[in-house]
Homo-oligomer: A and B are copies of this chain.
Amino acid sequence: MPKVSDEHKEQRIQQILLAASEVFKSKGYEQATLKDIVEEAGMSRGWIYLYFKDKTTIFLALIDYLDAQLEERISTLLKENKGSAHGVLISYFQETSQSIDRLEDSVVPAIYEFCTTGWREQQVRDYFVNRYIRVTAIFIDVIGKGVENGEFKPTRSVDEIVKYMISSLDGIMLHSLAFGSQQINAVQQVNLLINQLMEMLSVNFLKIMEKNS
């Protein structure tokens, strides 16, 4: 086995995940092979086996990586919005809305495919349940900050609001992919969801204007 420093290791893994991401984007999950990833990465198969035992392991590492990026993005948005949770949510939904007609060129279709073909397997289920808890926690945290600093006065439990929010958003994304974002008026739907979210959170706009001034 080749010896590598931690930094090199990180670089290699990133390189593999980047290559895998390209392959899963263009082929989906099932049709993609480890060989495709090896070729796209331009590494020998041995290097890849050093870190990942098969296609599934690479795929799950890729999802984890994307989720970590989401978490980082939310942190950045919090800073950019001077700690305003309202600002974070609006920015996040705007970004989602802007990218919704390009979902097909992302890893999202492969994730839906993997999830809907794999949910009979306990391991896949367990993985996705953990992921669900992790992703809801990110948004529960953001909204919690908004409650603490007086921006929001939720009319329902934050847990309930977040769960509903991500189901609806996933439904809109699923429908965009299945029927086309134009057909379903995806952007309009995301706007409607934002409105409903803000209503459930009883946004205190005076407080937000104060923060921004």
Q: How many copies of this kind of chain does the complex include?
A: 2
The distance in angstroms between the C-alpha atoms of A166 and B180, with both chains bound, is 15
**Shortest Cβ distance from A177 into B: residue:** B119
How many interface residues does A have (CB within 8 Å)?
A: 40
Find residues 145-189 in chain A having any chain B CB closer than 8 Å to their own CB: 156, 159-160, 163-164, 166-172, 174-175, 177-180, 183-185, 188-189
- Most chain B C-beta atoms within 10 Å of own C-beta, residue among A164, A180, A183: A164
The distance in angstroms between the C-alpha atoms of A83 and B177, with both chains bound, is 35
A25 → chain B closest CB, angstroms: 12
A92 in the interface (beta carbon within 8 A): no
Find residues 97-134 in chain A having any chain B CB closer than 8 Å to their own CB: 109, 112-113, 115-117, 119-120, 125, 128-129, 132
The distance in angstroms between the C-alpha atoms of A170 and B175, with both chains bound, is 8
A90 in the interface (beta carbon within 8 A): no
Judging by beta carbons under 8 Å apart, are A171 and B167 in contact?
Answer: yes
The distance in angstroms between the C-alpha atoms of A171 and B189, with both chains bound, is 13
Judging by beta carbons under 8 Å apart, are B167 and A184 in contact?
Answer: yes
Judging by beta carbons under 8 Å apart, are A184 and B168 in contact?
Answer: no
Query: What are 5 A-B residue pairs whose CB atoms fall within 8 Å in the complex?
Result: A116-B117, A119-B178, A160-B192, A163-B184, A164-B193
Can you name 10 extra interface pairs (CB under 8 A) apart from A116-B178, A164-B189?
A30-B117, A115-B178, A116-B116, A119-B178, A125-B178, A159-B185, A163-B184, A167-B171, A168-B172, A170-B171
Ranked 6 nearest A-B pairs via Cβ: A171-B171, A167-B171, A168-B168, A112-B116, A132-B179, A170-B171
